[in-house]
Amino acid sequence: MIAAPAPGSLLWFARHEIALNWRDWAALMTGGKRMRTYVALLVFASIAVVAHLIAASLLMPHIQTGIIADKATLAGLTGAGILFFTVMLSQAMESVTRAYYARADLDLILSSPASSRRLFAIRTLSIAGSTMMLSCLLAGPAINILAYYDSPAWLLAYGVMAVLAAIATAIAVGMTIALFRIAGPKRTRFIAQILAAIVGAGFLIGIQLVAILAFGQYARFSLFQSEAVLAAAPAADSLFWLPTRAAMGNGFAFGVLALAGFGLLALVIASSSASFGRYAVAAAGVPETRYKAQTKAKLFRRTSQKQVLRHKEWKLLARDPWLLSQTLMQILYLLPPALMLWLNYGQDAGMFIVVVPVLVMASGQLAGGLAWLAISGEDAHDLVVTAPVSPRAILTAKIQAVLGVIALVLAPLLLLMALSSPRAALVTGIGALLSAGSATLIQLWFRAQAKRAMFRRRQVSSRVATLSEAFASIMWAGTAAIAVTGAWLLAIIPAVIALIVMGIAKALSPKATD
């Protein structure tokens, strides 16, 4: 029989964390229902099969011609590796910030005689573990296909993922502590969240921007295969390619990388765990901070009930920088299409095929987040419901508030587009309205009262809502992309699919199944 670890020890904390994380994850996946466990397993298995098929179709041509570690291959793989690393770093930054700010059991543990250093060490390792898991899930199909059809040495890529996760976690901890020292506990969370979002989206958007500027097209990875990049890249035997060589199965390269990566994480944990309790306590004091209102606007003006509700939504959003950053960060993805519009102004009608669906889809995604905040994330739900306003008027006002923000974001881009092609602007406008309207309706059908602070968990609270929101946005984007080419009849197909998706979502919504 295995003896239980001593209370307060590293192993004891580890067991506690693993049990909590597992139950949290299982509850989110299954909603606590046994049937859903089987359904979730079936869905995972199906996704895994499809992902492996896609990976095989993409990689088989390369495998058949033989993969050699030349400069072009190393550059391509390194590009993909950097992309994964930025996603890992972004996730690790988010998780580390949460470790300091999310109260949950922190108050209980910090007020106990148990060592906060041990708790921090375990939580940091847990962050590295979950960061690695995400990347392994994403890269797993490609690694498996390469290992099966090319060489089992590719399996070492999983080890590289673990090392990259350790490095990303170490950097995230270092950055968070630096922010605590420089910006203080009041601003650290906000700055860290913004940085995490920029890091997560920055590389992808950055290479898109460079590809647009260099080649006038969206293709991301062609950049790494371009003559200019290959000419500027170090020689194939350079140390620069060490991580990529490790992923390709070079044992020595992996050893060096693992030593450096895991060593860095150990060093960061050892040097920062002592300050964890102090900074976590400082972060706990942030909600107690009182903010003086800066507004000089005249209060108690005569307005309609709908106006009052709309203004309240906009005011709350504008005053919550964290929520604003989480919601509007999707605007970052509009930068590449905006740049394309700018560069191709009046010249290339073909670029609308790329730009229009991006704008339509971004509108849907943005509307989904805002609609959740307005409809489900009502912090004073009882107050609004007991007001002498009809439920219909409340919903109308809230939907208007959401669409108002979308219109504000989209208007400059539509205007720019209209100067070049009024028809493309009209198609985009209608597509964006349909996409945003669909996302808002889905949020309405799946509304479940929650605190605004739960915004990040909205996507896991209902998978049907999240998936149908995404599918509907994609279908409306497809409709707009086809419509802008003038193939109106063909555009009906994705439009009908979008409507079917909406119908299924409505049928599966809690109200319909009650």
Partner 1 sequence: MQDSTPALEITGLSKSFDRPAVNGLNLSVRRGEFYGLLGPNGAGKTTILRMVAGLLQPDSGQINILGIDAARDPVAAKRVVAWVSDEPMVYDRLTPLEYLEFIAGLWQVEASEAARRAEDLLGWLGLAPHAHERCGGFSKGMLQKVALAGALVHEPQLIILDEPLTGLDAGSARQVKDVLKARVASGVTVIMTTHILEVAERMAERIGVIAHGRLIAEGTLEELRVKAGRGDTSLEDIFLDLVAADADAEKVA
Q: Which two tokens stand for residue 476?
A: 């409306």
Nearer to partner 1, 181 or 451 (CB): 451
What is the smallest separation between the CB atom of 282 and partner 1, expressed in angstroms?
15
**x-or-dash pattern for partner 1, window 311-340, by CB under 8 A?**
-x--xx--xx--------------------
Q: 324, 318 in Cβ contact below 8 A? A: yes
Closest CA to 74 of 242, 226, 210, 250: 242
Stretch that binds partner 1, among 59-67, 348-356, 378-386, 504-512 (CB under 8 A): 378-386
What is the smallest separation between the CB atom of 32 and partner 1, expressed in angstroms?
16
Q: Does 111 bind partner 1 (CB under 8 A)?
A: no
The single-letter DSSP state of residue 388 is S
Sequence-ordered list of residues with C-beta below 8 angstroms from that of 482, at least 6 positions apart, any chain: 490, 491, 493, 494
Cα gap 507→500, rounded to integer Å: 10
Q: Does 302 bind partner 1 (CB under 8 A)?
A: yes
What is the smallest separation between the CB atom of 290 and partner 1, expressed in angstroms?
4
Q: Does 23 bind partner 1 (CB under 8 A)?
A: no
What is the smallest separation between the CB atom of 467 and partner 1, expressed in angstroms?
31
Q: Does 385 bind partner 1 (CB under 8 A)?
A: yes
Nearer to partner 1, 34 or 290 (CB): 290
Q: Which residue has the tokens 């203004």?
A: 311
Nearer to partner 1, 34 or 392 (CB): 392
- Of 65, 111, 386, 513, the one binding partner 1 by CB under 8 A: 386
Q: 78, 253 in Cβ contact below 8 A? A: no
How many Cα atoms are found within 13 Å in the side-chain-facing hemisphere of 365?
Answer: 19
Stretch that binds partner 1, among 73-81, 188-196, 293-301, 339-347 (CB under 8 A): 293-301
- Of 6, 301, 513, 514, the one binding partner 1 by CB under 8 A: 301
Helix axes 305-318, 321-328, angle to 10 degrees: 90
DSSP, residue by residue, 61-109: HHHHH-----HHHHHHHHHHHHHHHHHHHHHHHHHHHHHHH--TTHHHH
Residue type, 118: R
Q: Does 308 bind partner 1 (CB under 8 A)?
A: yes
- Of 9, 112, 390, 449, the one binding partner 1 by CB under 8 A: 390
Q: Does 309 bind partner 1 (CB under 8 A)?
A: yes
- Of 228, 293, 346, 489, the one binding partner 1 by CB under 8 A: 293
The CA-atom distances, in angstroms, between 84 and each of 59, 75, 80, 139, 471 are 18, 14, 6, 8, 24
Q: Is 514 helix (H, G, I), strand (E, B) or coil?
A: coil
- Of 34, 35, 227, 289, the one binding partner 1 by CB under 8 A: 289
- Of 33, 278, 381, 511, the one binding partner 1 by CB under 8 A: 381
Cα gap 43→24, rounded to integer Å: 19
**SS3 sequence of 458-512:** HHHHCHHHHHHHHHHHHHHHHHHHHHHCCCHHHHHHHHHHHHHHHHHHHHHCHHH
What is the smallest separation between the CB atom of 324 and partner 1, expressed in angstroms?
11
Stretch that binds partner 1, among 39-47, 221-229, 298-306, 406-414 (CB under 8 A): 298-306
- Of 379, 411, 412, 488, the one binding partner 1 by CB under 8 A: 379
Go through the chain and tell me how many residues it has: 514
Stretch that binds partner 1, among 20-28, 285-293, 414-422, 494-502 (CB under 8 A): 285-293
Q: Does 17 bind partner 1 (CB under 8 A)?
A: no
The CA-atom distances, in angstroms, between 255 and each of 205, 243, 251, 402, 454 are 32, 10, 6, 52, 41
Count CB neighbours of 78 within 10 A. 18
Residue type, 460: V
Site for partner 1 in 140-199 (CB under 8 A): none
What is the smallest separation between the CB atom of 353 and partner 1, expressed in angstroms?
42
Nearer to partner 1, 34 or 296 (CB): 296
Nearer to partner 1, 271 or 390 (CB): 390
Q: Does 441 bind partner 1 (CB under 8 A)?
A: no
What is the smallest separation between the CB atom of 384 and partner 1, expressed in angstroms?
7
Q: Does 292 bind partner 1 (CB under 8 A)?
A: yes
Q: Does 514 bind partner 1 (CB under 8 A)?
A: no
Q: 166, 128 in Cβ contact below 8 A? A: yes
Q: 17, 122 in Cβ contact below 8 A? A: yes
- In angstroms, how far is the first alpha carbon of the chain from the final one? 48
Stretch that binds partner 1, among 39-47, 56-64, 170-178, 297-305 (CB under 8 A): 297-305
How many Cα atoms are found within 13 Å in the side-chain-facing hemisphere of 133?
Answer: 7
- Which residues are near partner 1 by CB under 8 A? 287-293, 295, 299-303, 305, 307-309, 312, 315-316, 319-320, 379-390
